[in-house]
Chains A and B, each alone.
Chain A
Amino acid sequence: MVETINSAFTAIFANRMRSFLTVLGIVIGVTSVILLISLVTGLKTYITNQIQGLGANLLFVIPGRIGGARSPGGVQANRLVYSDAANLRKSLSDSAEVSAAIQRNATLKFGNKNDRGVAIFGVESNYPKIISIKLTEGRFFTQSEQQSARKVAVIGQTVKANLFGEGKAIGQTIDVAGIRYVVIGVLASRGSTFGIDMDNSLYTPFTSAQRQFGIDRLNTIYISANRAEDVKSIQEKATTLLKKRLSEDEFTVQTQEQTLSTISQITGVLTAALGGIAAISLLVGGIGIMNIMLVSVTERIREIGLRKALGATEENIRNQFLIEAITLSGLGGVIGIILGIGISLIIGRFFTTTIPLWSVALSFGFSLLVGIIFGVAPAIRAAKLDPITALRYE
């Protein structure tokens, strides 16, 4: 056995190019599977954390119907207005905080500096009680500022960096789509979701934004239950209340949990899609291994014939090729795992990645199997040939 291992290793080193190509095929398959799955799993973890980080006991009222025939807020006209939020606040006043929200994109200016595509959120003064946001400087706006529609702004880190650089932000007057606002607070960084920079944003009183942009339709009504056990009953109450004025497919009241499950559906589809791509790459890698193995065995039929003539038994030949295939596929698998984990750790410095153990096991197992089957099956056939037939093989 030791001798068979020896001749297998000798053959591997004697045919460096072929060995390298076999290993490469497996490395690509294993690396891509581990990487893709770690990205999708990481994305799921990240989004879940982001949503859970928004705050506890949250509910969202959004226009349109989720899970219905029509897409939310899409084809259908948005009929959610401020009085809906006001009614909800009135009826839920003893059990929840309610804030209406509208959103527009605008360009900000300060002196000769611009910041384009900033998300302008018009929210109410109780917004920080609903969504957990942190300020690094200044303060959020007050109820009286909201009532009098004062042009005050709480800006994100990206806005601050683009407009003020290292300079002072609080108290400065900026231009928001032609109207002057005074900066009163700066938000802590929140990173980005789906490639959208959450820090390129500006919060202003709902009334100010509504007046400036002339919007009466709401993007979202945020509700935060005071107690976790009330979330379900608040969802029912809110639905009943809104149904008085709106039809069933014009709005959705969704709990954070439901949002998470929606997200998990989306990432599930994403996992399936990317998993499919990864499976294809594994398959392509497998076909590559198969080709190289087939070609190399054909190339080596004469060698097999010679070895048999010199006294090798069928078992000797089979074991030699088996050890060669296991060594090459195993080596490729290990390099693939190291590369896959390594690259996903590097990406992990910029973007959440999670490496599930099953993806490592799956890709490694599959490559090993492909390598062994296609490495050994033709060799077993060749080992059965008469030595003279094999020796004369062209």
Chain B
Amino acid sequence: MSLVKLSKINKIYPSGEVSFQALKNINLEIKKGEFLAVIGASGSGKSTLMHIIGLLDHPTSGKYELDGLDASHLKEDTLAKIRNKKIGFVFQSFNLLSRTSALDNVALPLIYAGISRNQRMERAKIALEQVGLSDKLNSHPNQLSGGQQQRVAIARALVTDPEIILADEPTGNLDSKSGAEVMGIFESLHRMGKAIIMITHEEDIAKHAKKRISIKDGRII
């Protein structure tokens, strides 16, 4: 059964008189546990694709089914709950809350899942152990290296035990050594059965994925 199913997805950004079509007739299926890399240059529409898969943005037309549920016409608050439950995000620029400890950053999505404080701390601790940061629980982002910050972000994506991890250029802000570490974590998550969708423009990074698609000018090629 497919986890993500996009049918005839179009995304048009109205920008003044000339509108810009970021995605053109996208059809895509991702199965549970798949590790997919979406490769494309900047401006190719790959980020837009990820935002639509991640329910952060609405397609202009087309149908999107997530885990058998038609997500095309849901209200924002319902989408928020689905994101919380099923999707873990890893961003290029980490997007951690500054002046907040690694543990609290990781526990953040659990607040919105309505989980008690003790459980949150417990689960956040386990997630940080999974990414090898059990000694940095109380460090703040500015006390961590880029690679460590991205690992905290991965732990945050993991903590709700989602079906899919969506990673947008996860190594884009990292040196190659930290990048390799991060990719190692993704591979082990894949072995644990998580579906991973990773956006990248680097062929080397894309090689870690078991399946690769390329996107250019809003079309899958």
Identify which of residues 74-102 in chain B touch chain A, using a CB-to-CB cut-off of 8 Å.
76-77, 80-81, 83-85, 89, 91, 95, 97-100
Cβ of A160 within 8 Å of any chain B Cβ, yes or no, is no
Cβ of A309 within 8 Å of any chain B Cβ, yes or no, is yes
Given contacts A310-B83, A313-B77, A313-B81, contact A3 B114 (CB under 8 A): yes
Please, how many residues of chain B have a CB less than 8 angstroms from a CB on the other chain? 28
CB contacts (< 8 Å) of A315 on chain B: these are 77
Q: Which residue of A lies closest to B56 (CB)?
A: A388
Given contacts A15-B99, A302-B95, A388-B51, contact A310 B108 (CB under 8 A): yes
Distance from B76 Cβ to chain A, minimum over Cβ atoms (Å): 7
Cross-chain contact of A7 among B51, B111, B160 (Cβ < 8 A): B111
Q: Which residue of B lies closest to A16 (CB)?
A: B99
Given contacts A3-B111, A312-B112, contact A388 B80 (CB under 8 A): no
Tier of interface size on chain A: 20 to 34
Q: Give the CA-CA distance A307 to B108 in the complex, in Å.
A: 8
Identify which of residues 308-324 in chain A touch chain B, using a CB-to-CB cut-off of 8 Å.
308-316
Q: Which residue of B lies closest to A387 (CB)?
A: B56
Distance from A48 Cβ to chain B, minimum over Cβ atoms (Å): 54
Please determine whether A388 and B100 come into contact, CB atoms closer than 8 angstroms: no
Cβ of A236 within 8 Å of any chain B Cβ, yes or no, is no
CB contacts (< 8 Å) of B114 on chain A: these are 3
Q: Give the CA-CA distance A313 to B84 in the complex, in Å.
A: 10
Please determine whether A313 and B57 come into contact, CB atoms closer than 8 angstroms: no
Q: Give the CA-CA distance A312 to B113 in the complex, in Å.
A: 9
Distance from B145 Cβ to chain A, minimum over Cβ atoms (Å): 21
Cβ of B211 within 8 Å of any chain A Cβ, yes or no, is no
Please determine whether A316 and B97 come into contact, CB atoms closer than 8 angstroms: no
CB contacts (< 8 Å) of A312 on chain B: these are 80, 112
Given contacts A10-B104, A14-B99, A388-B56, contact A308 B111 (CB under 8 A): no
Given contacts A7-B111, A10-B100, A14-B99, contact A314 B85 (CB under 8 A): no
Please determine whether B97 and A303 come into contact, CB atoms closer than 8 angstroms: yes
Q: Give the CA-CA distance A388 to B168 in the complex, in Å.
A: 13
Cβ of A391 within 8 Å of any chain B Cβ, yes or no, is yes
Please determine whether A386 and B109 come into contact, CB atoms closer than 8 angstroms: no
Please determine whether B76 and A316 come into contact, CB atoms closer than 8 angstroms: no
Q: Give the CA-CA distance A15 to B140 in the complex, in Å.
A: 13
Please determine whether B112 and A316 come into contact, CB atoms closer than 8 angstroms: yes
Distance from A8 Cβ to chain B, minimum over Cβ atoms (Å): 11
Cβ of B210 within 8 Å of any chain A Cβ, yes or no, is no
Please determine whether A14 and B97 come into contact, CB atoms closer than 8 angstroms: yes
Cβ of B194 within 8 Å of any chain A Cβ, yes or no, is no
CB contacts (< 8 Å) of B51 on chain A: these are 388
CB contacts (< 8 Å) of A308 on chain B: these are 80
CB contacts (< 8 Å) of B89 on chain A: these are 309-310
- Against B, the Cβ 8 Å flags (1 = close, 0 = not) of A355-391 are 0000000000000000000000000000000111001
- A7, A303, A313 — most chain B CB neighbours (10 Å): A313
Q: Give the CA-CA distance A109 to B105 in the complex, in Å.
A: 80
Given contacts A14-B99, A312-B112, contact A386 B84 (CB under 8 A): no
CB contacts (< 8 Å) of A15 on chain B: these are 99
CB contacts (< 8 Å) of B108 on chain A: these are 307, 310
Please determine whether B80 and A386 come into contact, CB atoms closer than 8 angstroms: no
B interface with A by C-beta (< 8 Å):
51, 54, 56-57, 76-77, 80-81, 83-85, 89, 91, 95, 97-100, 104, 108-109, 111-114, 117, 156, 160
Extra inter-chain contacts (12) besides given A303-B97, A311-B80, CB under 8 Å: A3-B111, A6-B111, A7-B111, A14-B98, A309-B89, A310-B156, A311-B83, A311-B85, A311-B109, A312-B80, A313-B112, A391-B91
A interface with B by C-beta (< 8 Å):
3, 6-7, 10, 14-15, 302-303, 306-316, 386-388, 391
19 pairs, CB–CB < 8 Å, chain A vs chain B: A3-B117, A6-B111, A10-B104, A14-B99, A14-B100, A15-B99, A302-B95, A307-B112, A309-B56, A309-B83, A310-B83, A311-B85, A313-B80, A314-B76, A386-B56, A386-B57, A387-B56, A388-B51, A391-B91
